Chain A
Amino acid sequence: MKLTLKIWRQANASEKGALKTYELDGVSQDMSFLEMLDLLNEQLLQNDEEPVAFDSDCREGICGMCSLMINGEAHGPEVTTTCQLHMRSFKDGDTITIEPWRAASFPIVKDLIVDRSAFDRIIQNGGYISANTGSAPEANSVPAPRDKAMRAFNTATCIGCGACVAACPNGSASLFLGAKITHLGELPQGQPERYSRVQTMLAQHDAEGFGGCTNIGECASACPKEIPLDVISQLNKDLRKSLILG
Chain B
Amino acid sequence: MRAVATTTLIKGARSTRSTIALKLLMAASGIVFILFVLVHMYGNLKAFSGELAFNEYAEHLRTFGEPMLPYGGLLWIIRVVLLASLVAHVGSAIALAKRAHAQRPVKYSVKKNKASSLSSRTMRWGGVALFLFVVWHLLQFTIVKINVGAGGQAPEVTENPYRLLISAFQPEQWWMVIIYLLAMLALAFHLHHGTFSAIQTLGFTNTAESRARARVAGWVVAIVVAGGFSLVPLFTVFGVIS
Q: A interface vs B, CB < 8 Å?
A: 6, 19, 69, 71-73, 97, 99, 102-105, 117-118, 121, 124-125, 167, 169-172, 196, 198-200, 202-218, 220-222, 228-230, 232-240, 242-243
B120 & A103 in contact (Cβ 8 Å cutoff)? no
Annotate B1-26 by CB proximity to A: 1 below 8 A, 0 otherwise.
00011011110011110111111100
Contact A233 B110 (CB under 8 A): no
Q: Does B208 contact A (CB under 8 A)?
A: yes
Docked-complex contact B19 and A213, CB < 8 angstroms: yes
Closest to A221 in B: B115
Give CA–CA (A26, B51) in the complex, Å. Answer: 78
Chain B residues engaging chain A, CB cutoff 8 angstroms: 4-5, 7-10, 13-16, 18-24, 96, 99-100, 102-117, 120-121, 123, 193, 196-197, 200-208, 210-211
Cα separation A54 to B99 with both chains bound (whole Å): 28
Q: Are B203 and A208 in contact (CB under 8 A)?
A: no
Report the Cα distance A205→B17, complex, angstroms. 12
With contacts A103-B103, A121-B9, A171-B100 known, is A239 near B18, CB below 8 A?
A: yes
Are the C-beta atoms of A210 and B103 separated by less than 8 Å?
yes
B203 touches A236 (CB 8 A): yes
- B14, closest chain A residue (CB): A203
B19 touches A99 (CB 8 A): no
A-B contact pairs, 29 of them (CB 8 A): A72-B108, A104-B105, A117-B4, A121-B7, A124-B9, A125-B9, A169-B116, A171-B103, A200-B13, A202-B15, A207-B10, A209-B99, A209-B102, A210-B103, A212-B23, A213-B19, A214-B96, A215-B200, A215-B201, A217-B120, A230-B205, A230-B207, A233-B203, A233-B205, A235-B203, A238-B203, A239-B18, A240-B202, A242-B15
